[in-house]
């Protein structure tokens, strides 16, 4: 079974950490990452830029609505995520719009990523 771990914390607190503190936390985490990677248990992991940099594509209307800020509704739940590589926000919105045509309803929150590691899970590892 594959699991996604979704990381929550106060971004106001985390993003006011000093570089030294941030580095120390990352160093501690990296020890765990390395152990998991050696056991082939680690898939992609990433750190997101704060929600102030987020944009949301609401795909309940046609055409979808672009809203500044993170996804804030509580009626819908996080069901999955993509990692995409685009030139800029317009590019990312283009991809989101294309996906929205295929799967309307709900929303996509677009969050820039500032740390990404692909992990060591072999391709084709499936759920279940």
Partner 1 sequence: MSEDLAWIDAALTSARPQAVGALLRYFRDLDTAEEAFQEACLRALRTWPQKGPPRDPAAWLIMVGRNAALDHVRKTARQTELPPEDVISDVDDVETPMAERLDGAHYRDDILRLMFICCHPELPATQQIALALRIVSGLSVRQIARAFLVSEAAMEQRITRAKARIARAEVTFEAPGPAERAERLAAVAAMVYLVFNEGYTAGAEAPDARAGLAGEAIRLARLLLRLFQTEPEIMGLTALVMLQQARAAARFDPEGAAILLEDQDRGLWDRKLISEGLALIDKALRHRRPGPYQVQAAIAALHDRAQSFEDTDWVQIEALYATLEVMTPSPVVTLNRAVAASKARGPAAALELIETLAEPLAGYFYFHGARGAFLLQLGLSAEAREAFDRAIALANTAAEAAHIRGQIDRLTADAAAKAS
* CB-CB contact of 96 with 108 (8 Å): yes
The correct pick among 76, 112, 118, 125 for binding partner 1 (CB under 8 A) is 112
The correct pick among 23, 29, 35, 69 for binding partner 1 (CB under 8 A) is 69
Q: Is 51 among the residues that bind partner 1 (CB under 8 A)?
A: yes
CA distance 56 to 70: 6
**Stretch of residues binding partner 1 (CB under 8 A), selected from 29-37, 47-55, 77-85, 97-105:** 47-55
Please provide the DSSP assignment of 49-71 as one string. Answer: PPGGG-EEEE-SSSSPEEEES--
Q: How far is the CB of 40 from partner 1 (least distance, A)?
A: 29
């Amino acid at each position: 079974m594959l699991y996604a771990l979704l990381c929550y914390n106060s971004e106001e607190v985390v993003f006011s950490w000093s570089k030294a503190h941030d580095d120390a936390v990352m160093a501690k985490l990296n020890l765990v990452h390395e152990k998991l990677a050696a056991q082939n248990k680690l898939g992609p992991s990433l750190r997101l830029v704060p929600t102030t940099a987020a944009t949301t594509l609401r795909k309940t209307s046609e055409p979808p609505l672009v809203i500044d800020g993170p996804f804030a509704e509580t009626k819908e739940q996080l069901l999955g995520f993509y990692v995409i590589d685009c030139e800029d926000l317009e590019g990312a919105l283009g991809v989101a719009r294309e996906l929205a045509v295929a799967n309307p309803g709900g929303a996509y929150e677009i969050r820039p990523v500032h740390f990404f590691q692909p992990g060591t899970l072999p391709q084709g590892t499936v759920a279940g």
